[in-house]
Structure 1
Amino acid sequence: MSELLSDWEKKSKEQQKSYKQFLQKMQTKKGKGAEKLLPDLHEEAFEKIDCLQCAGCCKTISPRFKTPDIKKVSKYLGLRESVFIETYLRLDEDGDYVVKRSPCAFLGDDNYCSIYDVRPGDCRNYPYTDSGEFFKRPNTTQLNSTICPAVFYVLERLKVLVK
């Protein structure tokens, strides 16, 4: 792993205030154009990071399961939708279905996802380092920098590239 990523959890926690300010700046005209850098930085990050070594997302946060996700996953597991919901999901404070517990029930001891081929959209798109969502949801991005080394990496690289 690169030098930038060594001790990333500690570094990220120390940088929370500067990330908040940086992400606010990215939402102004000054930050326009930075979105174009995201796909390349995303690729660069994942050339250095192996999700199977981390699985921080699956261990700490829960994706939303939208109706199409529930249909797809319950079919994949051979369960009626109602049984799938009752067994694995709960409604959160926003009225969204999320997994009942962390780490995710579908995460194996080897950090592989048992429903990877049909995982929910939130899992498919996480950590949003290659899309405009990265800047549109600054609070989420800031939090994700403490969960996912790729988010930390992209933020750190952006701070150097966008001045």
Structure 2
Amino acid sequence: MQLQQRAMDKNWQKKSLESKKKYVRRLERADRNKALKLLPALHNEAFSKIDCLECAACCKNYSPRFKTPDIKRISKHLRLRESVFIDTYLNLDQDGDYVVKSAPCPFLGSDNCCSIYDVRPSDCARFPYTNEDVLIKRKKITLKNAEFCPIVFYVLERLPD
């Protein structure tokens, strides 16, 4: 089966879970410099084959961290005082980070589009981190992301051993 079909296959999540040990070994053994050189091309290839708007699992089930610059930028965009924005949309999590109060994200539309896309949190803009060193450095988050994000699955499948 071609990788593109496998990534788009509705069973990709099952395949990702079945491959978890393989991904752990791959991430632990990866030549960091070689992997970092490959990631931008793998990232672009994955995004050319997979449409995030068909999925939006990240926005439906998880929250990014809202850092101070994000809160300032989004509050200004929404024409809300920062304190009102925080009180309306955010909670502090156990790590002391601001996250959305509920899932799905309150800014996710029924069409899976983000109503604050141009000013979205930096975590959202960077997600799924498949073109940066986070993929290798933060193995735990990469493996978690591979369970719900077909882009991460695609990149991990293509990353050489």
Partner secondary structure for residue 146 of structure 1: helix
Length-normalised TM-score, structure 2: 0.93
- The equivalent of 1:18 in structure 2 is 22
Task: Answer yes or no: is 1:55 the counterpart of 2:59.
Answer: no
Count of aligned pairs:
157
TM-superposed CA distance for 1:31, in Å, is 4.5
Question: Mind listing any 5+ residue stretches in structure 2 that lack a counterpart?
Answer: none
> CA offsets per residue over residues 10-53 of structure 1, 9 Å max, x none?
11111122212221222xxx454111100000010011011100
Q: Distance in 2 between matches of 1:72 and 1:31?
A: 34
Q: How far off is 1:101 after superposition?
A: 1.1
Long gaps (5+) in structure 1: none
Q: Which stretch of structure 1 is more off in the superposition, 125-134 or 30-39?
A: 30-39
Give me the CA root mean square deviation: 1.3
Task: Answer yes or no: is the 8 Å Cα contact 2:32–2:136 preserved in 1.
Answer: no
Structure 1 stretches of at least 4 aligned residues deviating more than 4 Å after TM superposition: none
Instruction: State the match for 1:41 in structure 2.
Output: 42
Matched, 1:102 2:106: no
Report the counterpart of residue 85 of structure 1 in structure 2: 86
Q: In the alignment, residue 129 of structure 1 is paired with which amino acid?
A: T
- Matched residue, 2:120: 119
- Match of 2:147, SS state, is coil
Higher deviation after alignment, 34-43 or 2-11 = 2-11
For 2:94 and 2:79, the matched residues in 1 are separated by 28
Does 2:78 align with 1:74? Answer: no
> What does residue 142 of structure 2 align with?
141
- Aligned partners of 1:73, 1:45: CA distance in 2, in Å? 29
> Which residue number corresponds to residue 155 of structure 2?
154
Letter in 2 for 1:22: R
Aligned to 1:128: 129
Identity %: 60
Q: In 2, Cα distance between the equivalents of 1:12 and 1:144?
A: 10
